[in-house]
Amino acid sequence: MEVLAIILSLIAVAMAYIALQRTGGLKDLRQQMDHLATKTEDTAKGARDTTADILQRLEHMVRGSGAQSPGKDEKDQKVPPPPDMESKQ
């Protein structure tokens, strides 16, 4: 009885391998995975760009029309001088 079970399992493995080869094999699976990875990256990039645009518009709405655009030089921004550490001692 055990011999019959082993023979049947080997036949099932052979049939599964043949079915895999008929559907394109491992090469086709790799191509499909690469295609899905590329599609996912493109979708994620589009979502990031859209989110960045929405956040930029929201920032302009909150800060008002006088807010600096990201394209201005950092030299134009006024940065306060660092605190004097010697006067505290």
- Domain residues for the domain of 21 are 9-57
In a domain, 64, yes or no: no
Task: Spell out the per-residue pLDDT of the chain, length 89, in tens.
Answer: 899 999 999 999 999 999 888 887 777 778 888 999 999 998 889 899 999 999 999 999 898 865 455 555 544 556 566 666 555 54
In a domain, 3, yes or no: no
In a domain, 14, yes or no: yes
In a domain, 79, yes or no: no
In a domain, 16, yes or no: yes
Neighbours of 4 (CB within 10 A): 8
In a domain, 66, yes or no: no
Domain count, the chain: 1
In a domain, 48, yes or no: yes
Residues with Cβ within 8 Å of 66's Cβ and at least 6 positions away in sequence, in order, are none
Helical residues (DSSP H) of the chain, grouped into ranges: 2-22, 25-63
Residue with tokens 């929201």: 58
Q: How many Å apart are CA 49 and CA 57, to the nearest integer?
A: 12
Write down the pLDDT at residue 28: 78
